[in-house]
Amino acid sequence: EPEVTQTPSHQVTQMGQEVILRCVPISNHLYFYWYRQILGQKVEFLVSFYNNEISEKSEIFDDQFSVERPDGSNFTLKIRSTKLEDSAMYFCASRIDWGGTDTQYFGPGTRLTVL
């Protein structure tokens, strides 16, 4: 069964460094998402991406964050200058975007630790 994949599974970085989290959505899906989950808290929406542009973004998704679909398969989340409070699990999700199937499929997540 097709699945969303994410790399790396765990990223440790120093505060102020840039990180890029990578995702490969399911191949025929058209909507892509990033969510994050701070340890012990609920999953929060960051950004959605459709037709090569940001569709919606939350208040969390400030100027330090950016997303890109550099080729036909990868979907990346970049954090330009990481802060301690960016430590979280980051999930990528994708959705097929046609009527009848609204399920979002999540990847296994990347655990980001900012020291």
Partner 1 sequence: SQQGEEDPQALSIQEGENATMNCSYKTSINNLQWYRQNSGRGLVHLILIRSNEREKHSGRLRVTLDTSKKSSSLLITASRAADTASYFCATDPGGAGSYQLTFGKGTKLSVIP
Residue numbers of the site for partner 1 (CB under 8 A)?
A: 31, 33, 35, 41-45, 48, 50, 55-56, 58, 89, 91, 93, 95, 102-109, 111
Q: Which is nearer to partner 1, 10 or 80 (CB)?
A: 10
Q: What type of residue is 108? A: P
CB of 19: closest distance to partner 1 in angstroms?
19
Q: Closest by alpha carbon to 93, among 53, 43, 51, 52?
A: 43
Q: Which long-range contacts (CB under 8 A, 24 or more apart) does 54-61 make?
A: 55/31, 60/36
Q: Which is nearer to partner 1, 18 or 102 (CB)?
A: 102
CB of 21: closest distance to partner 1 in angstroms?
14
CB of 92: closest distance to partner 1 in angstroms?
10
Q: Which is nearer to partner 1, 9 or 73 (CB)?
A: 9
Q: For the beta carbon of residue 28, count every other beta carbon within 10 angstroms.
A: 10
CB of 4: closest distance to partner 1 in angstroms?
9
Q: Which is nearer to partner 1, 79 or 107 (CB)?
A: 107
